[in-house]
Every structure is written in C-alpha cells, then in structure tokens.
Amino acid sequence: SDLQKQEERGELLQPLIFVLLVLCSVLLYFKVSLMDPGFVKPEEEEGENKGQGVVIPQIPGDIKLRRCGYCLVKRPMRAKHCQLCQHCVRRYDHHCPWLENCVGERNHPLFIVYLSVQLVVLLWGGHVAWSGLYFEQSWEWLQHNIFLLVSFLLIFIFTIVVLLLLVSHLYLISCNTTTWEFMSHHRISYLRHSELENPFDQGIILNLWRFFC
C-alpha cells in the first residue's frame, strides 16, 4: 500500500518526530505550570538560612534576612514573595502569566527546556506553513491561502517572542542572576549593599553547570 511505501522511504518519520515534539512541549507546559517552583515552607527556613554565608561570602554580613510581611516565613536570600501565588519562592525569577505559576529554583531549568522545545516546534511549523505557500497576485489565490498566511504570521510572531525569551534567560543564567534581580537591582538590599555588581557570578561555565546540573 501507499502507507507502507512511505514508511519504507522514511517519509513518515518526520511527521512522527514532529508530533512527538508537540506532545513533549505540551507535557513540559503542564509539568512546569503545575509543579512547585520552590515555595519557601516554614519548616525549611532554618536549614535554608544556615548556609547563606558559605555560599555567598561577598554579601555584607550586616544584611539580615527578614520575615515576609505576607506569609510570615523567613525569606532565604534570592527569594521573593509572589502576591499571585501567595508564597515566597526560592531563587525567584518571575511569575509567568502563560503558565499561571512562578518560575523559581525548582522549575526554572525545565522552563528553559520547554522554551527550547517550543522554539523547535514553532520553527518546524513555520517551515511547513511556508513550504505550502505559492504566491500569485490574484484574489482567488488569497482566498485559498488565507489560512496558511495567517498561520505563518502567527507562528512568526510566537517564534520571535519565544526566541527573545530563551536568549534573555540564557544570558541571565550565564551571569547567575534572575529576571527579578536584573530588573530590581537597585531595590534589593543584598545587591545594593554588595561590593560587587553581581556577587553570585562565578563564571559562565560554572554558572551554567550549577544551573542545569
């Protein structure tokens, strides 16, 4: 049959890989959006705070960790309270409205993997949409290809957004800083009073290693 011939020629492999990538992207979305991003729990706060001076010796010792005014836990360094999630999040990066969850210490690496897979899916989908277009200057052609044109335009916009997000996050990770620290450097006490502009930076290779591994 034609299906068997296509399978023998390997023509079914690419659609299968594309479907698997889409499925992987959907599963990653739900995983990142539903998992604990690193909520600070009252029973963990003592253990969290003991190691701060060892991990970050460049931070001035007179900076005291304060209790959160909302959830009343003692916030570890680099944690921030999210008013939408109603929790303090360790190594808080940002609250993502598309995920309806915070991106923090526990789900940030998976968030990067999700963006990477999503970018591959969008680029592949854009290629498929573009390959299906053949241009003619006629109203009839526009009527028959309007769906492909709109699809390609939407894919192009989403691709640019995901690409910019991924590049910006990889840059911040390579510097061992978060979106919140980058945007609010002047308002964060342990950064404002530090002698170094970024006391967490340990070099690109070590920063990436510690983040992903």
Residues in the chain: 213
Residue of 96, 102, 175, 213 marked active site: 96
On whether residue 58 sits in a domain, the answer given is no
On whether residue 117 sits in a domain, the answer given is yes
User: For residues 149 and 147, what is the distance between their CA atoms, to the nearest angstrom?
Assistant: 5
**What band does 206 get if pLDDT is binned at 50, 70 and 90?**
very high
Matching residue, tokens 């920063």: 207
On whether residue 127 sits in a domain, the answer given is yes
Question: Where in the sequence is the domain holding 142, given as residue range(s)?
Answer: 2-36+106-212
Q: Considering the entire predicted model, what is its pTM?
A: 0.82
Task: Return the HEC string of the chain.
Answer: CHHHHHHHCCCCHHHHHHHHHHHHHHHHHHHHHHCCCCECCHHHHHHHHHCHHHHCCCCCCCCCCCECCCCCCECCCCCEEECCCCEEECCCCEEECCCCEEECCCCHHHHHHHHHHHHHHHHHHHHHHHHCCCCCCCHHHHHHHHHHHHHHHHHHHHHHHHHHHHHHHHHHHHCCCCHHHHHCHHHCHHHHCCCCCCCCCCCHHHHHHHHHC
> How many other C-beta atoms are found inside a 10 Å radius of the C-beta of residue 156?
14
On whether residue 28 sits in a domain, the answer given is yes
- Active-site residue, 96 included: yes
Q: What is the pLDDT of residues 152-197, one digit of tens each?
A: 889 999 999 999 999 999 999 999 999 999 999 888 888 887 778 8
Q: What is the pLDDT of residues 50-74, one digit of tens each?
A: 444 434 445 555 556 678 888 888 8
What's the total number of domains in the chain? 1
On whether residue 53 sits in a domain, the answer given is no
On whether residue 119 sits in a domain, the answer given is yes
Q: Are 88 and 80 in contact (CB under 8 A)?
A: yes
- When pLDDT is averaged across residues 19-32 and rounded to a whole number, the result is 95
User: What's residue 51's pLDDT?
Assistant: 44
On whether residue 83 sits in a domain, the answer given is no
On whether residue 92 sits in a domain, the answer given is no
